[in-house]
Each structure stands twice: as C-alpha cells, then as structure tokens.
Amino acid sequence: MNATATQRRTYLLNMGPSHPAMHGVIRLLLELDGERVVKADAEIGYLHRAFEKQAEDDCWNNVIPYTDRLNYVSPLINNVGYCLAVEKLCGIETPERCQYLRVIASEISRVTDHLTCVGASAMELGAFTVFLYLMQAREVLYFCVDKLTGARITTSYTRIGGVKADLPEGFETMVHDAFRKVREAVRESDALLTRNRIFMDRMRGIGVLPRATALAYGVTGPLLRAAGVPYDLRRAQPYLVYDKLDFEVPVGSQGDNFDRYLVRLAEIEQGMRIVEQCLRDMPAGPVRSSDPRLLDAAEMADAGKRGETGRLSGSDADGDPTLEGTGERFKAGISAPAPDAVLPTKERAYGSIEGLMNHFELVMWGRGVTPPPGETYFAVEAGNGELGFHVVSDGSRRPYRVRVRPPCFFNMAALHTMLEGGTVADIIATFGSINMIAGELDR
C-alpha cells in the first residue's frame, strides 16, 4: 500500500470467558473495525471434564450418570442416547411401554431445554419478564421430572435395557396441568416478543447461517431447521416409537436469529403434543400396586438378611417415592428380559440368593454388563441436534472406547460465520440463539 494512503486500522478485543453472556466458559477473540466484527475466533475447553476417558475407566452402567452432565439442560435425552447405543451393541430389545416412557422423558426434557434457551436469550436482550415467565414454566416441568425420576436435573432415569421405574401415581394429571401452564407462558412470551419492534430489530437478519454453510459445517437441530432444512432424526431415522407418533418438524427460511427463536418456540408445542400422544397411546401397565401385601423395601432387606425369605413371597416392594414403580409387577413393562444387563427387582434381590447374586454382579465395580466385542453408533435428536454415541467393546466389563458427537461442537464451529460482518451488540443475540451448553461442547 502507498505509504501516503490512509490505512484503516483494526484492533483485537477479548470477550469472555468472564463476560456474563459467555457463560464463563467461552472466549471470543474479536478483530474489530470500530463496532464491526471483522473476524471472530472462539476458544473452547473451559469446562472439559474428560468424559470420554472417564467412561473408558468405568463399568458400562456407571457411565449413565456421566451422560447427565453433557447437556445438563436436557439430561434425559443424553441417558436415552447412550443406553440405546449400548443396547444396539448388546442386541437388547426393550418393551414397547418402556420405549414410550423414554419418549415421554426425552420430550419433557426437550421442552425444558428450549424454554431455557428462549428465556435466557430474551433476558440477555433485556426482556427480563419473558425470562421469568419461561423459567416459571420450566419449574413446573422440573416438578414432573422430579416425580418421575427422583431428581430434577441429574436424573439417570434410563437404564441399559430399560428405565428406572414406571409412571408414578398421578403423573399423567400432573403433566397435563404443567402443560397448561407452559402453553400459557409461551403465549404470553410470544405476545411480548414475536411482534415487538425492538426484539425483531435485534433478531431479524442478524446472525444469518445460510443453508449451504450449515450443511458444510455439519450443523444439525434447530439451527439447521431454521436455515430451511427439515432434518430431524426422529423423522429421518426413527427410533423408539417416534414412527408411531404424529408431529411436525418446524423449519425457517432465513437461518437468522429470529428463525431460530421461532423454530424453538414451535418445537416446544410439538414436544408437548408428542408427550400427550404417548400418555394416550402407551400400552396399559400397572402404575400402583393394589396388592395389600406391600412391604417397605428396607423391611424386605432386613428380612432377607435374616433369612426370612418365606414372608417375602408374593409381596411387593413399597419404597420411598424415588423407588415408586420399580417393583416386580412393573418389570415386564419397563425393562427387557435380560438378567445379564438389567437389575433385578427389590423382591428378587431381597427374597432369593439368585436375585442377590444377580444384583451384586451388575452393580459391583469391575463387573456389570458385558457386551460382545464390536462397535456401534447410535444417534438421537437432542435439544441442539444430532447427539451420537460411538461405543466400542472388547468384550470386557468396561467400554474400550466411548466417543460422543456433541451437536454443540458443530454449532460453535460455525459461530464465526454468523458473527463476522455484524456488530459487537449482535454477538449477544447470536451467541444466545445457538444455545451453547458447555458440558456438551467440551465434554
């Protein structure tokens, strides 16, 4: 360049990881021309926990709680994805009722994920009222999750070969009541945001991810669908009972922040619609024992230790609320008939030496499930897109290799294309719209 010519100078700015909108786990290195973003580099890894290496050092069953910590906003989907991969490797087929239960858990989890994303993104743009509405809606769903699994977030509800328990008493009514509150909160938020001129100016035409770019980066989930690609694993590669359910796949056209917001808002309704169909169409099964011979689980354990197994014959275990639906009479509906992979019921574990030995073999460190040598890949439609598990077995009691395909990773890889050319103020809206969950991104 001619020495006398005026040169346009850019400067570098660090945004994060301590910036509130970066959630403490992402660092953006920005090259700025005034307020215009010329180049953006994202640095990740601030929440890396060595999930994959930890999985290789533990039993197959013991990996399930670690999956809760991937996308901790929708942990139930992580549980389901990992267990489906191991079951595919083992050749285990779960009962139909169990598959419906897994879909119910997954879709409730998906709704909580989208409520969190839309609410937090709105708050970061100044719409604090919407955040309160949607967090209140998420809270009533957390009560449902707590009722079903015994925990609000780190649930570990799914098991290899089944689920922890059947539906607790009154769960269906509880879910319908919760959905009424969620729909009301979504309507209120839609009225406050969707045609709000300030919100639309911050979202429409901002953070555009074209269809071709999204496909090139391997982006999936709401980001890809917002770009106009109707790809959803629940339709493209149906698993569980999704092929029996009627639901729509919302898509956008521009691939901007506004389309991503609308797609997630529409998917909240579709998720609730799926759950309602499951509750209606799920094969009949016991929800609560009508047998008067209910013995407290702790009492059964004490009797078993004393050798008084005779008094346990024909009795059902009556545990605390977190054990509700785990007894013998529920077993056929919630677990596969695979004693080499599925825990025995309390009645069997406390009432017979065979059941106790079966339980011992499956829970003790260094024992547990033993898949045949081989490898497989299974993917589910998570809150942010295709969540895949590639598991490799060498025939031992623990995985030889567990590899996760985290949808957040691909979304973040494409982030710079959405930021470059925009302004510093646009970063907040765009970053919030991709719903980065660091536990899933970094693993």
pLDDT tens string 244-284: 999 989 998 888 899 999 999 999 999 999 999 999 988 88
Give me the pLDDT at residue 151, please.
Answer: 82
Closest by CA position to 147, among listed 168, 165, 128, 175: 168
385-393 vs 401-405, strand pairing mode: antiparallel
Higher pLDDT, 325 or 406: 406
What's the pLDDT at 178?
93
Look at residues 307, 293, 315, 440 and name the one whose alpha carbon lies nearest to residue 380: 440
Is pLDDT at 64 greater than 70 in this prediction?
Answer: yes
Residue 312: its pLDDT value, please?
64
Q: Residues 88-111: what's their mean pLDDT?
A: 91
Res 296: pLDDT: 63
Q: Each residue of 373-384: pLDDT tens digit? A: 999 999 999 888
Split at pLDDT 50, 70, 90, the class of 1 is very low
Given a cut of 50, is residue 213 above it in pLDDT? Answer: yes
Mean pLDDT of the chain: 85
CATH architecture group of domain 90-285+407-442: Orthogonal Bundle (1.10)
Q: What is the pLDDT of residues 279-327, one digit of tens each?
A: 998 888 765 545 546 666 666 666 666 766 666 666 666 656 666 777 7
Q: Give the pLDDT score at 255.
A: 87
Q: SS3 string of the chain?
A: CCCCCCCCCCEEEEECCCCHHHCCCCEEEEEEECCEEEEEEEECCCCCCCHHHHHCCCCCHHHHHHHHCCCCCCHHHHHHHHHHHHHHHHCCCCCHHHHHHHHHHHHHHHHHHHHHHHHHHHHHCCCHHHHHHHHHHHHHHHHHHHHHHCCCCCCCCEECCEECCCCCCCHHHHHHHHHHHHHHHHHHHHHHHCCCHHHHHHHCCCCCCCHHHHHHCCCCCHHHHHCCCCCCHHHHCCCCCHHHCCCCCCCCCCCCHHHHHHHHHHHHHHHHHHHHHHHHHCCCCCCCCCCCCEEEHHHHHHHHHCCCHHHHCCCEEECCHHHCCCCHHHHHHHECCCCCCCCCCHHHHHHCHHHHHHHHHHHCCCCCCCCCCEEEEEEEEECCEEEEEEEEECCCCCCCEEEEECHHHHHHHCHHHHHCCCEHHHHHHHHHHCCCCHHHHHC
> What is the rounded distance in angstroms from the CA atom of residue 282 to the CA atom of residue 403?
33
Spans of all domains in the chain: 11-43, 90-285+407-442, 294-363
Q: What is the pLDDT of residue 310?
A: 65
* Percent of the chain topping pLDDT 90: 31
Q: What is the pLDDT of residue 321?
A: 63
pLDDT of residue 286: 64
Per-residue pLDDT tens digits for 348-364: 777 777 878 888 888 87
The pLDDT value given to residue 3 = 47
